[in-house]
């Protein structure tokens, strides 16, 4: 967890205190030259020193803070500008009227490689890029007044750490640090240090999740399971998993249970799910979550995966394949790419409107004739005859379509789901069951006619691809519409 990987502690020496006077004397010498203080100049220090030497030829050296060559060779101090003159630092600390913040930032030795904090240069880059921001976020001094100096120590058996002395160049700081601001600043600094690890875990989680979704979307389902899942879906409204969970919890549960069975039966899918869960848990721990917060984070990750896999299985069940997409006309799509036949609430609403017209304008006998003709066309791939087309055109919405050819070819190209229901409607069932089946068939036929009308109005004729042969089953009504 971040708290155990990166620890930040502060003390404030108030102006006029004994601790304040000791910092400019023994404290600076202690952190600069004690055993274990790393005095080796890093590559960054050498580059800065070389730049300072070049600037000296322009007469700028004496005016740039931190750019004076170090006469006291061998100390471990560094600041935002490079290797400072130790005597100057002691003088500034002795003369400042500002309170002085003494900080220790440490990591466990075993965590240092993963955090990228193994060497003096690693720590220098961290402090030079973040410490001024860190102090500014404490809200105790202006960013232009932040002054700090630090030293890196490695002699501890269990940790690596830096000592940092921070003061206000304006001399106005004379207060303790607010605890809430300290906690927020610590979290921000930890987040910066842990970002590479979090990004790696996020990538691992995303890859596992996307592969799971792709596998569920493309997996081949048994006919019995496919029919059962289709029957569980509602005939109207959005079929997104989140909407099903609110409107039709039974349908959402059926989808979730099916996903669970599919994943449990496939070792590779189980492995992907475990990778996702471990990455999500590791990311939560890097954020420092524990207790209820950790449980809530894990539950959110689990819900997100369940929703995505549920949507993938619904897409699989609906048969969202290229054969059910609208064709392109000179590069213009008649339907959004990847949109399945009747996969959107708008498409289903349009189909319901035509279904109501068919049910109202046609007699039971006419609906049976139309159902029989549609079923025959779906099986054989032959166009609809004039009689069933004329029956369908009794509905005002169908009558307004441009040309019967588009209607005929649309029926043939997209009626793979109507065949079974049409067979049930004309299969000898009488009474209320037969009437209900005919109404269901009308809804299915309306779905295809609605699709055809839209395409016909855009002056595009639909092709008549080879239609998949279906066996006649007896599914629950409504499942084939969606």
Structure tokens at 287: 């954020």
Query: What is d(CA 317, CA 247) in angstroms, rounded to the nearest whole number?
Result: 19
- Token digits for 358? 């068919």
**Domain stop point among 175, 206, 241:** 175
Distance, CA of 89 to CA of 37 (rounded, Å)? 17
- Residue 36 CA, chain-centre distance (Å), reads 45
Asked whether residue 39 is assigned to any structural domain, the reply reads yes
**pLDDT for res 336:** 31
Residue 142 belongs to domain spanning? 2-175
Domain assignment present for residue 425? The answer is yes
Q: Are residues 201 and 348 in the same domain?
A: no
Confirm whether 325 is domain-assigned.
no
Indicate whether 133 and 103 sit together in one domain.
yes
CA atoms of 8 and 182, how far apart (whole Å): 9
Question: Considering 318, 348, 369, which residue would you say is the last residue of a domain?
Answer: 318
Q: What is the pLDDT of residues 279-333, one digit of tens each?
A: 999 888 887 788 888 889 889 999 999 999 999 999 888 875 333 333 333 333 3
Q: Are residues 157 and 263 in the same domain?
A: no
pLDDT value at position 230?
85
Do 255 and 399 sit in the same domain of this protein? no
Q: How confident is the model at residue 323, as a pLDDT? A: 32
If asked whether residues 228 and 367 sit together in one domain, one would say: no
Supply the pLDDT for residue 302. 92
Residues 452, 369 share a domain:
yes
| Same domain as 143, residue 99 | yes
12 and 46 inside one domain: yes
Q: Whole-model pTM?
A: 0.54
Residue 373: inside a domain, yes or no? yes
Tell me the C-alpha distance between 326 and 462, whole Å.
Answer: 8
pLDDT at 111: 86
Note the pLDDT of residue 301. Answer: 93
Domain match, 122 and 70 both:
yes
Handedness of CA 183, 196, 123, 61 (dihedral sign): negative
DSSP per-residue codes, 37-70: B--PPPHHHHHHHHHHHHHHTTT-GGGSTT-S--
Residue 122 lies inside a defined structural domain of this protein: yes
**313 shares its domain with 335:** no
Alpha-carbon distance of 473 to 476, in angstroms, equals 10
Please, are residues 28 and 89 in contact by the beta-carbon 8 Å criterion?
Answer: yes
Is 473 contained in some domain? no
Q: Do 12 and 99 form a contact (C-beta atoms < 8 A)?
A: yes
pLDDT of residue 212: 94
Return the closest-CA partner of residue 45 out of 1, 7, 16, 77.
77
Distances from the Cα of 330 to the Cα of 333, 339, 459, 460, angstroms:
8, 19, 12, 10
CA–CA separation, 152 and 164 (whole Å): 9
Q: Where are the beta strands (DSSP E) in 91-242?
A: 100-108, 146-153, 159-168
Total structural domains within the chain: 3
Look at residue 477 and tell me if it is in a domain.
no
pLDDT of residue 37: 79
> Is residue 32 situated within a structural domain?
yes
Domain end among 318, 353, 384: 318
Given this model, what pLDDT does residue 407 score? 54
| The pLDDT of residue 461 | 39
pLDDT mean by block of 10 residues, the chain; 482 residues: 70 90 84 79 77 54 45 75 88 93 92 88 94 95 95 80 94 92 92 88 92 92 86 83 90 93 93 93 84 89 93 84 34 32 58 69 77 67 73 71 51 45 45 52 60 50 39 37 32
> Residue 10, exposed/middle/buried by CB under 10 A (0-12, 13-18, 19+)?
middle
- Is residue 163 within 8 Å of 31, Cβ to Cβ? yes
**According to the model, what pLDDT value does residue 398 have?**
67
Are 127 and 229 in the same domain?
Answer: no
Distances (CA, A) of 202 to 207, 283, 304: 9, 7, 14
Do 307 and 337 have their domain in common?
A: no
Burial class (CB in 10 A: 0-12, 13-18, 19+), 143: exposed
Do the beta carbons of residue 98 and residue 170 sit within 8 Å?
yes
């Amino acid at each position: 967890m971040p708290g155990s990987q990166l620890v930040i502690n502060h003390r404030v020496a108030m102006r006029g205190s004994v601790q304040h006077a000791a910092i400019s004397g023994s404290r600076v010498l202690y952190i600069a030259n004690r055993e274990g203080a790393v005095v080796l100049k890093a590559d960054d220090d050498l580059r800065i020193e070389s730049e300072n030497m070049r600037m000296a030829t322009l007469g700028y050296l004496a005016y740039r803070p931190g750019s004076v060559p170090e006469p006291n060779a061998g100390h471990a101090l560094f600041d935002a500008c490079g290797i400072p003159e130790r005597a100057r630092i002691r003088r500034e600390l002795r003369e400042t009227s500002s309170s002085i913040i003494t900080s220790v930032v440490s990591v466990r030795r075993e965590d240092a490689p993963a955090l990228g904090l193994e060497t003096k240069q690693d720590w220098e880059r961290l402090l030079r890029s973040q410490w001024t921001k860190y102090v500014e976020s404490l809200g105790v001094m202006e960013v232009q007044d932040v002054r700090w100096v630090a030293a890196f120590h490695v002699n501890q058996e269990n940790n690596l750490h830096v000592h940092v002395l921070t003061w206000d160049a304006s001399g106005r700081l004379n207060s303790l640090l607010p605890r809430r601001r300290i906690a927020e600043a610590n979290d921000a600094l930890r987040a910066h240090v842990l970002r590479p690890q979090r990004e790696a875990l996020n990538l691992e989680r995303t890859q596992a999740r996307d592969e799971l979704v792709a596998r569920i979307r493309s997996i081949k389902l048994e006919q019995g399971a496919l029919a059962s899942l289709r029957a569980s879906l509602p005939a109207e409204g959005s079929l997104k998993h989140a909407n099903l969970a609110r409107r039709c919890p039974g349908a959402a549960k059926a989808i979730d249970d099916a996903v669970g069975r599919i994943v449990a039966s496939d070792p590779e899918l189980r492995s992907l799910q475990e990778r996702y869960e471990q990455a999500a848990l590791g990311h939560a721990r890097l954020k420092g979550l524990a207790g209820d917060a950790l449980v809530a984070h894990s539950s959110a990750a689990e819900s997100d995966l369940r929703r995505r896999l549920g949507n993938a299985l619904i897409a699989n069940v609906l048969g969202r394949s290229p054969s059910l997409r609208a064709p392109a006309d000179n590069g213009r799509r008649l339907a959004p790419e990847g949109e399945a036949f009747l996969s959107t609430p708008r498409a289903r609403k349009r189909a319901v409107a035509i279904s109501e017209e068919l049910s109202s304008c046609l007699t039971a006998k006419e609906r049976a004739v139309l159902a029989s003709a549609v079923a025959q066309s779906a099986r054989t791939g032959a166009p609809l005859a004039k009689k069933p087309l004329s029956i369908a055109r009794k509905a005002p919405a169908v009558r307004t379509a441009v040309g019967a050819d588009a209607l005929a070819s649309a029926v043939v190209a997209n009626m793979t789901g109507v065949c079974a229901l049409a067979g049930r409607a004309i299969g000898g069932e009488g009474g209320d069951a037969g009437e209900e089946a005919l109404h269901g068939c009308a809804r299915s036929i309306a779905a295809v006619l609605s699709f055809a009308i839209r395409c016909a109005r855009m002056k595009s004729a639909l092709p008549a691809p080879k239609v998949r042969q279906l066996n006649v089953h007896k599914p629950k009504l409504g499942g084939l519409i969606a």
